[in-house]
Structure 1
Amino acid sequence: MFHSLASAEEVKKIGKFKDWETIVLKNDSELVCFAQSKPVLQSPKNNPREARLFVTFRPNGKIIDEISITAGYEFNKKNSIIARSGKNKYKFDMSQDNFAWMADNKKEKKMIKTMKKGSRIMVTGYNQEGSQTIDHYSLLGFTKAYGSAKKNCS
């Protein structure tokens, strides 16, 4: 995603919705819209990281509702990356460097429904040394940021 940001001719922050924001990237060949948030709490506290949770739309690639995360470090492939909200649990199937995604768009749609109803989601990951991190994301403003990203890319 960030390679697009670097080569984008136009980067527009569309709106800030409580703890979420919507960003649109445009260049000659691609339009990318996403809702993103930073954690409101990170564990361990003594290791601040550039973590983010994204829901992305790429109409040229027919990609909608793509959920991705970065924890600010390269994920350990031996351990699962899990998002939890209430009783709901979602596993990220694919990781590359410091990003992780879900392979199944149906799972992504279920997670988005959970995020619209919830107030917080926690993402657990493991770094290369096997140390666990937990990022707590507020879901306040998610529904509006998601709607704004979807609208700007449809």
Structure 2
Amino acid sequence: MRSTPYLALLALTVAAVAVDAQAQQQQRPQAQQGQPAQGNRPASGGGAQQGAAVAQFGDWGVFTSTTQRGKVCYAASQPKSRAPAGLQRDPAFFFLTSRPGENVRNEVSLTLGFPLKGDATATIGSASFALYTQQNGAWIKNAAEEGRMVQAMRGGSQLTVRSTSLRGNVTTDTYSLTGLGQALDRVAQECR
């Protein structure tokens, strides 16, 4: 189990990301099969009313919050390693978000802790997924691949995100997938 300060930080981050996810979903064009789902990603704003830690499964926590559109549930984790090691950057988080009021299940999003330049890539085993980036956030580029990515994550042991900072630093964040399946099952229970 992670420490209480970690859970508090993550719960606050979840509340902020809930608003960002809700706002970006409103502006995200619906992807057609095989087409990129790109849109303007707004900055975080007001509207999150509450964020709460629900459970911890391995390296993944489950959190809930409430927005004006209803309950939001997340499985979230931080990277186990970040390279290059000496780089100054804010904490990174990987989220799988469900918003039943908007018929959204296991939406992939990340906050990388630094402004990004260009797109990024997530790799699970031999499967790679293109990520669209804006500011310090990333989302799966082709929404039609989201289900395949989540299935790969459920069956994998680690996920690696490669990106480039606005300053030109090539970065690699590696996430453990231990506990993810249980966390997603709990998210499904919390947000039916």
TM-score normalised to the size of structure 2? 0.73
- How many angstroms does 1:150 deviate by? 2.0
In structure 2, the partner of 1:98 is 136
The structure that is helix-richer by fraction is: 2
Q: How many residues are matched?
A: 151
CA offsets 1:63-108 (integer angstroms, 9 cap, x no match): 112101111011102xx3001121111111x322111112433311
In structure 2, the partner of 1:88 is 127
Q: 2: CA distance between counterparts of 1:13 and 1:71?
A: 21
Task: State the AA in 2 paired with 1:13.
Answer: A
Pick aligned residue for 1:58 from 91, 99, 108: 99
Q: 1: CA distance between counterparts of 2:107 and 2:67?
A: 20
Identical positions, percent = 26
Cα 1:71–1:30, aligned 2, differ >3 Å: closer, same or farther? same
- Residue ranges of structure 1 left out of the alignment (5+ in a row): none
1:46 partner SS: coil
Pick aligned residue for 2:179 from 141, 149, 154: 141
- Residue ranges of structure 2 left out of the alignment (5+ in a row): 1-13, 20-45
Bigger relative CO (Cα 8 Å, ≥ 6 apart) = 1
Q: 1: CA distance between counterparts of 2:94 and 2:17?
A: 17
Runs of 4+ in 1 over 6 A off after TM superposition: none
Pick aligned residue for 1:43 from 75, 80, 83: 83
Q: 1: CA distance between counterparts of 2:74 and 2:161?
A: 19
2:52 partner SS: strand
In structure 1, the partner of 2:57 is 17
Q: CA RMSD in A?
A: 1.7
Preserved contact between residue 42 and residue 135 of structure 1 (Cα < 8 Å): yes
Q: 2: CA distance between counterparts of 1:40 and 1:4?
A: 23
Q: Does 1:151 align with 2:189?
A: yes
In structure 1, the partner of 2:43 is none
